[in-house]
Structure 1
Amino acid sequence: MVPIPFDPNRVQKVKDDFLAADALTKTLNPELLKSWQRSKDAIGVPANIRDVPRVSDELLDAHLLDMFQAPLARVSDDLDGTGMGLLLADSQGRILQRWSHDHNALDHLDRLGTVRGAVLAEDVVGTNGVGTVAATGRSVQISGAEHFADFYSQAVCTGSPVRHPITGKLLAVVTVSSDLSERSGLLRPLVTSVTMQLEQQVLDVEQPAARMMFSSFLETVRAHTGPVLAFGPQGLVMQSQKAGRLTVADLNLIQQHCAGERRSGRLALELSTGTVELQVTALGDDAGVVVALERDRRTATTSIGPARPQLVGRTPEWLQVVHQVARHREARRPLVIAGEPGTGRTSLALGLPFRPGTAVAQGLVTDAAERHVVGSRKWLQKLSEKLTASAPVIVRGIETLDPHTVDGVRSLVESSTGRGPVLLTLAAASPEEAEGVAARLGMSSLWVPPLRERTADIPALWHVFAEQVAHGAGLELRSDALELLQGYAWPGNLKELRGVLEQLALTGKRGAVLPADLPASMQGARALSMIERVELEAIRKALHEADGNRSKAAEILGLSRATVYRKMKAYRMTA
C-alpha cells in the first residue's frame, strides 16, 4: 500500500466536515437516517435511480385489491378536490391501484412513474412513503428532500401499514401522495384512520359467514366480465375493480335493493349510467348476497320481490357503528346506543329503518315514555315479560326514566333468562354523558355520529327520504344545494333533513332543488372537506393531550404555533 502523504490542512478539513455532519444528523429523525443508509447500501447514490420499474398485472394480488376496493373508493370520493392521490401497495411495495379525482395529481403520479405495477420498494427507489413503510412496518411521512430519489423532491408521501388484525402480518401499504404544504403534517391521522378501516374489513371477512361471502364473490369475479358487488353480514361490502367506476349514489341504490335478500333472481335498476340488469345470488347461512351487473338486455327477469329496507349510509363513521351494534346483537351483550336526538339510534338497534306503529316496531320496541302513562311498576313488568323471550328487546328513550326505574331495568337485564339481545337507546348531549348512564346500568355504550359528522351520506339519505315523502316528484339536489346541506350543522340530524323534504313536498316543489329552495338557515353554510375534518379532529386530540395548551399541541402536531392558532380560529375552536 502506498502511504498517503500527510497534509495537515486536508486532515483538518475532513475532521471538521465529519464533526459538522455528526452534529447535523442529530437534527434529523434517526429512522430517516437508517432508511437513507439502507437505500445507500442497496442502490449507491440517488443518481443511480433513473426510472421506476414495473411488474405485469399477473404478478399483482387481485384478491387483496378486491377486498379493499370498496372502502378505498369511498375514501377517494372524500378526497375529491384536494389534489391528493391515494395509493394501495402490497407488502413488497408494488402498486396495486391508485385513486384520484384530480387530473393534475394523476399527471404528477404519471411523471413519477407511480402507476399500477410500479415497484416502490425501498431497495429499488430508496426512501419513500410506500417502500419505507413496507421495509419497517411503521407509519412514515417522507417530505421533499427526505426522499432518497431526487425526482420525488417536490412531493409528500404519507404511508401506513395494513396488518392482519389477528396474526399481525403485513398485508398492504396505504399512502397519500400530495405536494408540499403546511397541511401535510396533519395527513398522518387521515392515513391511519384509513388503514384502521381496512384492518376492520379484514377482521369482518374472518367471520365464517363473511368468508363464505368473500369466496363466492371471488368466484363470481373470475366468471363474470362486468362489475361485481357483494353485501355481507355486519354491513360488509366487497367491490370488484370494474365496480370501482360506480358512483356512491349507485352503490347505495344497489345496496338498498339487494342487501339482505334471501332469494336469488334478476332485476333491472336505473343507475346514473343507464339501466342495468342485476343478477342477485343469495347465499345461505345469512352470508349475504353477490350481485353481478350487466347492461339491460330487455330479457324476461325473475323478480326477487320487494327488498327489505336497509340502513342508509356508507361513511366510515356510520359503518363502524353499524358493525359494532351488529356484533353486540350477535353476541347478545347488552348495549346502550347513545347519540343526539334524531341520529337514528332506534334504527341501529333494529338493524333496519324504524317506523313507529309497524308490526316490527310494536313487537320489538318498548318505549320508555310509556312509563309515564302506565306507571313504573307495570312498565317494568311488561319489560320483564319481553326479556324472557328469545327475540331482541329494544328499550327506546331511557333518558326519560328516573333513577329508580333505571336501577330496575339493570336488575331485570342482569337476571334475564332470555336469549335475545338487549339494546337501549339514549338521547344525550355528549359521549361522556352517555358513558355515565351506561355505567349506572352496568353496560357498555356506543356513540352514534351526528349528521354533521357524516355529511357524505346526505345524498343517499336525501334520495331515500324523497322517495318516502314525495314519491314521483323528482326532488333531485343540485350540486350547489348539496354543498350547502353538507356545510350545515344539522342540530336536528336525520329528522331535520327529512323535515326539509316534507316542507318541499307541502309546497308542491318538483324537479331540481336549488339553494333558494332550502330554508334560509341553510343558505349560508359551507361543507368541510375530508381533509378539513381530519385536521379538525387531529387538532382536537392534540389539544386534549396537551390539556388545552396550544403551544404543546403545536409541538405534538409538528406545526408552528401560528399555524395552529390560525386553524383554530378558522374552525372556531377554543382550547
Structure 2
Amino acid sequence: MAEVNLLPPGHDQEIALSWKRSHQFGLPRSRAVDGLPSEDYDPSSRLLAAASPVLDELADQVAAGPLCLLLADDDGRILDRRLGTPTLERSLDQISAVPGCRYSEEATGTNAIATTLETGRAIRVTGEEHYLESLAGFGCYGHPIIHPITRRLEGVLDISTAVEHTSDLFVPFVARIVRDIEERLLTGSRVSHQRLFAAFQSASNRRTRPVVALDGDVVLANQASVDLLETIDYVTLREFAVEHAAAGDGERRLRLHSGANVRVRVTSVPGTSYGSLLELGVETSPDSENADRPMGVRRRDPVHAPGVQQQIERLRGRRTTVFVSGLSGAGRSTVGRELGGDNRVTVADSLDALVGDERKWARYLYAAIDRGDGIVVIDDVHLLPPAAAVQVRHMIAQERVWVALTCDRRNSDSEHVAELAAQCADRIELPALRDRTEDIPAIARHLMSTMDHNDRVRLTPSVLDAFARHPWPGNLRELSALLRRLKSRRSAGDITLADLPAEYRSAPPRRLTGLARAEHEAITAALNECDWNKTQAARCLGISRSTLYERIRALGIRG
C-alpha cells in the first residue's frame, strides 16, 4: 500500500499520526459516510444522564447560531445532538452525525470525535485536516470527558460548524461544558454510592450471613464476608453480578477458593449505576482435600486446566507417545516435561534442526533414545525440516521410543505434522489462556508464589479482575513475564491497577452475547491463522478490511 501524503508542516502532530492510522486501516479518503449503521445505546447511561441537563441549559445558545454539540460515548457512538440552523442539521444528517451512529477512526478517519478518543486528549480538526473528503466542509473541536473518580475516559463532547464559522472561542466554551458534565458525573457517583451503602447497611443489619455490595470500583463487605472470602472470590462474585445485571435478580451455587460451597443471591440496587447486593449462604465447610481450590482449578497445579491435569496424571511416567498442541506460550514444553515424571527428560528443539546442523541434531536425538532412561521431548515439530520429520516418524514407528511431540496449534494441520500426530498414541490439546477466564486469578497467584515464596506482595482484586478480562495473546508466557516485571518493581505491598502497563489497565470489554462471542472466536481464529495479518484475515472471512477493523474494535479483540 502506498504511503499516504503527509499533511503540510504546521498541523498538529496528532492529526498527522491519525492520518497514518486511517491510511493503514485501508480507508479511502473518498469514502462516503452518509450510511453509517445506527446502533442501539442505553438512553439511561451514566454519561447521558449527567450531560443532558447541562446540554439543556445551552439549548438557546446553540440555537442562536450555526453550531452543533455532539455527545459521544467511549466507543464513539453519538448519544445526543443539539443543533442550531436547519441547514446545519441537513448537513450533519448527510454525514451520519446522528444519535446511534459511531464515529471511529477505522470507519470515519481523522475527526474530532474519533481522534479525541484515540489520543485521549482534546483536539481541533478543521476543514481539510479531516481525513475523509466528505468531512472537509466542517470545523470541529473535541474534548474528552474524564470521570473525576475513576479517571476513565467516559466519552467526548464535540462542537461542529461549517468551516468558515470556526472560532478559537470553541476551546474555552467546550472545556467549560465538559467541566460541568464531569461535576455531574461526580455528584451522580456520590449519590449512587450513598444508595449502595444504604442497601448494604440494611442487608447487613438484617443478616448475620456474609453480604457484599459491588458498584464499579466500590466493594463493601461485612465482617462475615471478610472472614469467608479471599481476593479471588471477589473477582468471581463480580463476574456473577455482571452476568445477572441485565436479567435482574439471580441465584447460583459457587465454590470458593477455600473449597467451601456457597449459594449466592444477587439483587440490583435501585438508583445506582450498576450496583449489586450479594448475599452468601455457606453450604459446606472447607475440606483438606479441596482446600485452596478455586472454581475449575485443581490444587495440584492451577496452571493447567482440569482436563489437561487429569491427562498428565494419567500419562505421567507411561512409556508412550504423546502429541501436545496449543498456541504459543500455552505451556506445551512444560507439559512435555511433566509427562516424564521423575524420569530423565531430554529436550530436542526442532528449531536447531531448521537453522543449525540437521545431522548433528539427529545424532543427538538418536543418542537420547538409545539411552532409554527417560522421555524425549521434541519441541515445535511444525518447524522440522522434511528429512528430520521423516526420521522422527521412523523412530516412532519402531515403537521403542518414549517421546512427547509439541506443536503450535495453528500449524497442526500441515502434512508432516498431521502424519506425526497420527502416529502418537495419545493427544493433549492445551486451551488458550483467554478461554480460561475463571482460572486466571488462581493461575496468577500460583505463578507469583513460585517466583517468591513470601507473602509480601499481593495482587489486588482490581488487578485480578483486569487479568481475567485481558485476551492474553501470549498465553501463560505473557502472564509470567508480566508478573516477573511487576515483582521486580515492587518487593512488598499491594500491586494495584496503577502498577500495570497501560495495555493491561484498559477498561474491561463488555460481556459478549452468545452471537458476539461466536463472532469474536471466528475473527480471532482467522487472525491467528494469518499471523494477525488483517488484510489476509479479512479475505479469509469474506469481509472488507474496514468491516474487520470495525468488528475488532467493537469486540475488544487485541493481538
Regarding TM over 0.5, the answer is no
User: Under a length normalisation based on structure 2, what TM-score does the superposition of the two structures give?
Assistant: 0.40
User: Under a length normalisation based on structure 1, what TM-score does the superposition of the two structures give?
Assistant: 0.39
| Structure (1 or 2) with the greater helix fraction | 1
